[in-house]
Chain A
Amino acid sequence: MTTEKLALTTTSPARKPRSGGGGDNALAAELTRLLGPRKVLSSLAERLSYRFDAIQFGVTPLAVVLPESTEDVIATVKAARRAGVSIVGRGAASGLSGGAAPMQPGVVVSFTRMSKLEIFPERREAVAQPGVITLAVTDAARPHGLIYPPDPASLRTSTIGGNLGENAGGPLCFKYGVTGDYVTALDFVDAEGELHTLTRDAYDLAGLLIGSEGTLGLITSATLRLTPPPKFTRTLMAHFAEVGQAAEAVSAAIAAGAVPGKLEFMDQACTNAVEDYLHLGLPRDAGAVLLVDTDGDDLDTVEEERALVEAACLEAGGVVRRAEGEAEAAALWQARRSVSPALGRIRPQRMNEDIVVPRSVLPEVVRQIRALGDASGLKLVQFGHIGDGNLHPNILFDPRTESTEAVHTLAHEIALVAIRHGGVLSGEHGIGTMKRDFMRDAVDPETMTALWNVKRALDPSGALNPGKILPEEPHA
């Protein structure tokens, strides 16, 4: 595996004037003719702005389309197909696996203007276009006594379309499930430019599109399930000398019967990065911090569950603090949501893992990963939705002074730890380009063939978000 394949560095050549589009941009001209100038971006400055997500820089697109309707998406896909170029869907580009970064010169379809949202309180549903900001769904539903539970850390920025593409989760997914669990129907435009409506009856084709990272079709509308929020929530923070103790507390609490609404952890480096940003008085010396919400409609049960978690934390050697009031709880959760970007304070670049392992092996897995990090000489940090066994080991590095090959080797070793313990490569961020190389370790050849057959059935020419998820077949 080469470092180029890993694509951790900016692919743009420096100090060399790039093509302004000139001859290539017959495509942009055609799209402008079809959709009008308002919806098509073709200047170099505009196109350069649509070649990255929150982890990776890709190739400069030939044109960017900002559709305002499903018809615009259909026209775009058909035009791109005629021109024989690739199509990459994009929400807010806050994804963490390279999913929205184009790997070939083609069209980027940025859904930010398709942001229509309707709430149907009587049937507890929302119908959202892909450009709706995730938090906007709950904001619109709350006056009706409802919320939309999937809550990725980027919920103020990210879009429903992106959440569907990555099957995003968040702290609440331990008890309430991920994006896919809240979708009852969706519309998508296929690689031919045809529109389809999928429900979850018969074959669960909606389930196939969810988490497909834009490689099987472009979602243009989704019907989302809303639920009443729990009446009571109690928050607890515990800190531990060592990261394995935090994992032991989690395993013990869940084994004792607690089902917290949220159960998150962050290690020392994460806590300190966040503390530098928010100055909340988090315990800087602790090896790991656990953040826990217990919630429900019966206060006694909620308090009882908090007591169970508290006891498990104390038993594992932790120090426990109960959040007094909503403001303190909100500050603690803002701290957790800020972990990922705050890590930029430590090193300019990172390799972000998204493994999921059975909860029973958590203490062993986090300790093994910690040991691998210590042995590598690289800066490794861990945080994540530990209640789900969903861990985000991050390797932080500076490509000018540290070897990207060493980063890749460590990332691969971590992926293998997960696989050895019966885990998987991605919980919520997708495979994208970042974990594509590890797919062969995680998926047996027969299953891989089946995945490729699905891809070919829906996208025979390979135009939809090429270079993502599936590694090239050896004989392809």
Chain B
Amino acid sequence: MNNDIPVQALGPQGEVMAHAVDACVHCGFCLPACPTYALLGDEMDSPRGRIVLMKEVLEGGLDLLDAAPHLDRCLGCQACVTACPSGVPYGELITSFRGWSEPQRRRSPLDRAKRYAILKALPAPRLFSVAARVGQYAKPLAPALPAALRGPLDLLPEHVPAMQPSPPLTPARGQRRGRVAFLTGCAQQALAPNFNAATLRVLARNGIEVVVPEGQGCCGAAALHTGARDEALRLVRANLDAFNPDDYDAILSNAAGCGAGLKEYPVILHGLHDEARAKAFAAKVQDISEYLAGLAREGGLEPFMPASRPLKVAYHDACHLAHAQGVRAAPRELLRMIPGVSIVEIPEGDLCCGSAGTYNLEQPELAGQLGARKAGHILSTTPDLIASGNIGCHTQIQSHVRRQGSPVPVMHTVEVLDRAYRGEL
């Protein structure tokens, strides 16, 4: 759409934003894909509406504070990107916009404290783990606490497991087929250490040597998507220093949100001096399921032990895997390789579960509605097992499925593979 965004004044991110606004023909094909439009049914809480609002703010015709409530409700799920025939890079737009606008926001002290705590705790697994343990003991007090604190407590699992740091090197079993670097993730290490352990075992079993480079940290996505751009740039550069793409066949992530974050590095650094490094880095990034499916095609995977009984697996597409990274087929292909496993598709499968990074901490009400809707749809397929490739979805879905009274196990895709190898499925 036509715009008068003062690109020069906004710098390299201005180019990114103006390009995205240009590409939108305001056709409305994105509306049915948008979770907040599904819940609220109004134009300003749709992708098309948000693009118009961002354009108006950037042009100077609308105050940021007027647009902010609607922009804050965006989950960043990018379902609209999948739905958009015009190729609008909406994710790049909203991320850049949040980075540009955050320094201008006036937030309440409680709001600021919460954001500060999230941004400090998320990238620091040990701190997060301690916080989660404290939270675990505070859970019984939740009903007496302010809503801002209740949300995070609701999401904590009943039992916060012990940390299991990943070894710096996991050798390949048998003949070595490849060498990869692995990003261990942040919250995931504290909440679900088994995801990483399973990942290392499955890779090693298939002849892959896994390096966990020293000095790696948070991918920066959480900071970036909440608008803390300077913090994000610091984290991004630390990772560019830690991972030398020339040393590895691939750089792997097993958390969809982190993987999408890593693939976004060239956009974050667009127009800055590390842009070329970021491109070389991002070109090597793959989700664990993409990489394993690639191995399966080139020479195959070690055979899986059959499941002990026929298993109906409801595979949930994490938005950051399906929409942001375009990875849909690979996880399904892998799960189907396990004898006895069949996949069921979830109604309204493209709609976000409401987790969306820090969304369920910042917009607990909408996140809760989406979580309940997703859990209902998943349980309607009467699955024996729920699989997904993202820690955020995992926590959200588990919490809502339990709330609806179902004991169905929820696992990471790679955990299912690992169990199949161990004959525990």
Contact = CB atoms under 8 A, between A and B. Distances in A.
Contacts of A43: 66
Contact of B28 (A44, A46, A92, A110): A92
A195 B62 CA distance: 38
A276 interface: yes
Interface stretch (B51-59, B368-376, B416-424): B51-59
Interface in A322-361: 338, 340-345, 348-350
Interface string A62-87: 00001000000000000000000000
A112 B41 CA distance: 7
B300 interface: no
A313 to B, nearest CB: 26
B4 interface: yes
B28 A342 contact: no
Contacts of B70: 45
A158 B31 CA distance: 10
A12 B28 CA distance: 20
Contact of B61 (A15, A274, A277): A15
Interface stretch (B83-91, B175-183, B192-200, B386-394): B83-91
A18 B66 CA distance: 12
Contacts of B59: 12, 14-15
Contacts of A52: 26, 52
A125 B301 CA distance: 55
A16 B67 contact: no
Nearest to A108: B43
Nearest to B88: A344
A340 B69 CA distance: 31
B25 A49 contact: no
Contacts of B248: none
A345 B52 CA distance: 18
A399 interface: yes
A348 B23 contact: yes
Given A49-B44, A49-B49, A154 B29 contact: yes
B53 A45 contact: yes
A400 B84 CA distance: 24
Nearest to A131: B41
B337 to A, nearest CB: 22
A9 B61 CA distance: 16
A186 to B, nearest CB: 23
A350 B25 contact: yes
B85 A344 contact: yes
| B interface bracket (residues with beta carbon within 8 Å of A) | 35 or more
A48 B62 contact: yes
A112 B53 contact: no
Contact of A94 (B28, B60, B61): B28
Interface string B356-392: 0000000000000000000000000000000000000
B85 A16 contact: no
A15 B43 contact: no
Nearest to A273: B85
Given A112-B41, A276-B87, A341-B85, A14 B61 contact: yes
Contacts of A263: none
- Among B4, B22, B23, B25, residue most surrounded by chain A Cβ atoms (within 10 Å): B25
B364 to A, nearest CB: 21
Contacts of A93: 26, 28, 43
Contacts of B43: 49-50, 93, 110
B1 interface: yes
Interface string B311-340: 000000000000000000000000000000
B51 to A, nearest CB: 10
A398 to B, nearest CB: 9
B27 A54 contact: yes
Contacts of A157: 27-29, 31-32
Interface string B1-45: 111101000000000000000111111110110000000011110
Interface string A90-118: 00111000000000000000101100000
B53 A342 contact: no
A10 B2 contact: yes
B62 A154 contact: no
Contacts of B4: 14-15
Nearest to A334: B85
A345 B27 CA distance: 13
Given A10-B3, A18-B62, A112 B32 contact: no
Contacts of A340: 27, 85
Interface in B85-107: 85-88
Contacts of B27: 54, 94, 154, 157, 340-341, 344
Contacts of A440: none
Given A45-B66, A46-B44, A342-B85, A348 B22 contact: yes
Contacts of B62: 18, 44-45, 48
B220 to A, nearest CB: 29
Interface in A368-404: 399-400
- Among B4, B41, B43, B87, residue most surrounded by chain A Cβ atoms (within 10 Å): B43
A274 B22 CA distance: 18
A344 B56 contact: no
Contact of A349 (B2, B29, B52): B2
Given A46-B44, A344-B23, A17 B66 contact: no
B25 A133 contact: no
Contacts of B24: 344
Contact of A133 (B32, B53, B86): B32
A337 to B, nearest CB: 9
Nearest to B83: A156
A12 B70 CA distance: 20
Interface in A274-331: 274, 276-277
Interface string A29-48: 00000000000010111101
A9 B2 CA distance: 7
A136 to B, nearest CB: 10
Nearest to B69: A45
Contacts of B42: 41, 46, 49, 66, 110, 112
Contacts of A53: 26
A13 interface: yes
Interface of A: 9-10, 12-18, 41, 43-46, 48-50, 52-54, 57, 66, 92-94, 110, 112-113, 133, 154, 156-158, 273-274, 276-277, 338, 340-345, 348-350, 399-400
Given A49-B44, A338-B29, A341-B84, 13 more contacts: A12-B61, A14-B60, A16-B61, A45-B67, A53-B26, A54-B25, A54-B27, A133-B32, A341-B27, A342-B85, A344-B24, A344-B85, A348-B1
6 contacts: A10-B1, A10-B2, A12-B59, A48-B44, A49-B44, A54-B25
Identify the 9 closest CB pairs spanning chains A and B, nearest first.
Answer: A344-B86, A14-B4, A344-B25, A15-B60, A341-B27, A341-B85, A94-B28, A49-B44, A342-B85
